[in-house]
A and B are shown apart, each in its own frame.
Chain A
Amino acid sequence: MTMQEDHKDCFVLEGKMALPNQNFAGRLGSRFLIAIRDRKKIMGLKCNPCGKTFVPPREYCEKCWTKIADNWVELGTEGELVNFTVVRYGDRHLPKKPPYILGQIRLDGADTPLVHIVEGIDPRDVESGIRVKAVFAEKTTNTIMDIDHFEPV
């Protein structure tokens, strides 16, 4: 479109979209998060028919529709870094100052890798396949950030 318009009256008003929220982890999510916060344990949920162990928690296996909400298994707090990126931009929603490593970590005993932050290694040296372990947060927030980060074993 090639509408010619006069821009002389046009301007931009600065504003914001801001609303208060309260999010609920639910019973299942609370058990998972409290285990990390209070017991420093990472729990998975196992689907017996599929033979797969999932993390983060979910009520049922979406592949076979089996309810797995009670089938907790304890995972290791160590695992393998299977994939990663280096975050180099800075936005307000990011939990760390860039640059930092965001990785996919397959915990011992789990089939699905968990997305988390990897520290204690230079972004230039990181590679897939290294072993990492969870470092739990001193100051807890009731989210997955109660694991502060993972670091090489």
Chain B
Amino acid sequence: MTEYFGTTVADIFATMPKRFKPEEAKEVDIAIGYEATGEGGGKWKATIKHGTLKVETVEGELTGCKTTIHTDAETFVGVTLGKIAALDALSSQKLRVAGDPKFLMLLLPKIFTPYAAPAKKPDAVTARDIIATIAERFRPEKAEGVAMTIGYDLAGEGGGKWTIVIREGKCAVREGLADPLTVKMTMEAKTYAGMMVGTIEAVTAFTSGQVKIEGDMAAAGATAKYFLKYVVPGATEAEELISLRVINSIEQRFATGPVMGRWFAGIREKKFLANRCPKCGRTQIPPREICAWCRVRVHEFVEVGPKGVVTHFDIVYFASPDPLTGAVRDTPYATAYVVFDGATEREAITLDLKQEDIPRLKEGARVRPVWAEVTTGSYRDLIGVELDEEEGSI
């Protein structure tokens, strides 16, 4: 398979079940199709339902997918590894999404842990190098009261025979094998180095007979905790760059003051109270302490609406996540710029439009407010507006 950035497309799909987070996907019911073109590409289908994941390769047509991602193999790997920004790939059409792109941007990062390319084999590290660091990796606080001698017989290049002595909270390494030993381990030097740097799984090495253990098996199993993990010096390829994810949250008490307070008093009564500039006569909605143009304090309140006319509107296809919950509202939704009856020209207010009304929304449409069942005097009282068709003015 062709590698891009040292990874194949197949690698990514092969690790998908391992990276799947079922607890995050309980509510998810979706089939996602992937078509990666070019060398090393192919077709895959991931079906997520009731917190389970099924990944299959597909020959022929991708069918039954709610969202399908089309891209070339290189871009696919690049985006997965974070080497290519997903937004850039999406912008330049190198990556296309049939269906709702928000699944790609928001759902996938939630239900999968990111793909991490396995660290490069630090071939240069020998068993001898690792043994040399044993004394400085020793954790005396973990080895209180422990007295043991561990022998290593490591064959091949970079190998040798060593005895590690742990006694009275100290650790020493000696060349050669002491007698007696608490435990003796025999293996290829390559195998030892592989286990220590993490390219060979220890359990596999034991069970497959690559490692021969003589003496106290239990003691052998306990040795790891007496030492800090070996870190490959200058292992820049696998260098860990630390980051912290946090939500910073500070409670607030937002004052309304008398002017916005009056607006909310009106809202509680399902009335829109604008305030009118004594100089230019403009109606401010919501009201403000001053008219910015005339630089005079505004005292007079006038009721406007409750119906009005839509001067502009935005149909939003790509909702941003709520910064607090990560939840994303259904798209498309519409925000309408409404000038209430009795308001002065251009003094529009932005309001949500009822979703069912979107297909029939036009500039100049008349709308009426939709109120919450119980009004308490906050922005939540006004759910939005809906088309006011009784007057037949659409």
Binding site for B on A (CB under 8 A): 5-7, 9-27, 29-30, 33-34, 38-40, 141-143
Contact B243 A25 (CB under 8 A): yes
How far is B244's CA from A20's CA once the two chains are assembled, in angstroms? Answer: 11
How far is B232's CA from A34's CA once the two chains are assembled, in angstroms? Answer: 13
CB distance from B386 to the nearest CB of A (A): 26
Contact B323 A19 (CB under 8 A): yes
Centre residue among A9, A15, A20, A143 by max chain B CB count within 10 A: A9
Query: Which residues of chain A come closer than 8 Å to B239, judged between CB atoms?
Result: 27, 30
Contacting residues of chain B (223-267) with chain A, CB-CB under 8 angstroms: 228-229, 231, 239-258, 261-262, 264-265
How far is B257's CA from A23's CA once the two chains are assembled, in angstroms? Answer: 37
CB distance from A138 to the nearest CB of B (A): 12
Contact A22 B248 (CB under 8 A): no
How far is B281's CA from A86's CA once the two chains are assembled, in angstroms? Answer: 59
Query: Which residues of chain A come closer than 8 Å to B262, judged between CB atoms?
Result: 9
Picked from A15, A29, A33, the residue with its CB within 8 Å of the CB of B252 is: A15
Contact B247 A14 (CB under 8 A): no
CB distance from A146 to the nearest CB of B (A): 10
Known: A11-B261, A17-B250, A22-B243. 15 other contacts (CB 8 A): A9-B262, A10-B258, A12-B255, A15-B251, A15-B254, A21-B246, A25-B241, A26-B241, A38-B228, A39-B228, A39-B231, A40-B139, A40-B228, A141-B244, A143-B244
CB distance from B290 to the nearest CB of A (A): 13
- Interface residue B355 (Cβ < 8 Å from any Cβ of A): no
Contact B377 A21 (CB under 8 A): no
Query: Which residues of chain B come closer than 8 Å to A22, judged between CB atoms?
Result: 243-246
CB distance from A105 to the nearest CB of B (A): 20
- Interface residue B210 (Cβ < 8 Å from any Cβ of A): no
- Interface residue B324 (Cβ < 8 Å from any Cβ of A): yes
Contact B229 A18 (CB under 8 A): no
Interface 1/0s, chain B 260-283, versus A by CB < 8 A? 011011000000000000000000
Contact B248 A19 (CB under 8 A): yes
How far is B323's CA from A26's CA once the two chains are assembled, in angstroms? Answer: 25
Contact A13 B256 (CB under 8 A): yes
Binding site for A on B (CB under 8 A): 137, 139, 228-229, 231, 239-258, 261-262, 264-265, 323-324, 377-378
Please name 18 pairs of A and B residues whose Cβ atoms are closer than 8 Å in the assembled complex, sorted by A: A5-B258, A6-B258, A9-B262, A9-B265, A10-B257, A10-B261, A12-B256, A14-B251, A15-B252, A15-B254, A16-B249, A18-B324, A19-B247, A19-B248, A21-B248, A25-B243, A26-B241, A38-B231
Contact B255 A14 (CB under 8 A): no
How far is B241's CA from A22's CA once the two chains are assembled, in angstroms? Answer: 12
Contact B258 A21 (CB under 8 A): no
How far is B261's CA from A9's CA once the two chains are assembled, in angstroms? Answer: 5
Query: Which residues of chain B come closer than 8 Å to A7, judged between CB atoms?
Result: 258
With contacts A12-B253, A27-B241 taken as known, whether A20 is within 8 angstroms of B228 at the C-beta atoms is no
Contact B323 A13 (CB under 8 A): no
How far is B244's CA from A29's CA once the two chains are assembled, in angstroms? Answer: 12
Q: Which 3 A-B pairs have the closest CB atoms?
A: A9-B261, A18-B249, A25-B242
Query: Which residues of chain A come closer than 8 Å to B252, judged between CB atoms?
Result: 14-17
Picked from B137, B244, B254, the residue with its CB within 8 Å of the CB of A142 is: B244
CB distance from A39 to the nearest CB of B (A): 5
Picked from A11, A20, A39, A142, the residue with its CB within 8 Å of the CB of B242 is: A142
With contacts A22-B243, A23-B244 taken as known, whether A17 is within 8 angstroms of B249 at the C-beta atoms is yes
How far is B323's CA from A90's CA once the two chains are assembled, in angstroms? Answer: 27
How far is B265's CA from A24's CA once the two chains are assembled, in angstroms? Answer: 46
Residue of B nearest to A17 (CB): B250
Contact B240 A11 (CB under 8 A): no
Query: Which residues of chain A come closer than 8 Å to B244, judged between CB atoms?
Result: 21-23, 25, 141-143
Contact B251 A16 (CB under 8 A): yes
Residue of A nearest to B136 (CB): A39
With contacts A12-B253, A18-B250 taken as known, whether A23 is within 8 angstroms of B265 at the C-beta atoms is no
Query: Which residues of chain B come closer than 8 Å to A16, judged between CB atoms?
Result: 249-252
How far is B245's CA from A43's CA once the two chains are assembled, in angstroms? Answer: 24
CB distance from B232 to the nearest CB of A (A): 12
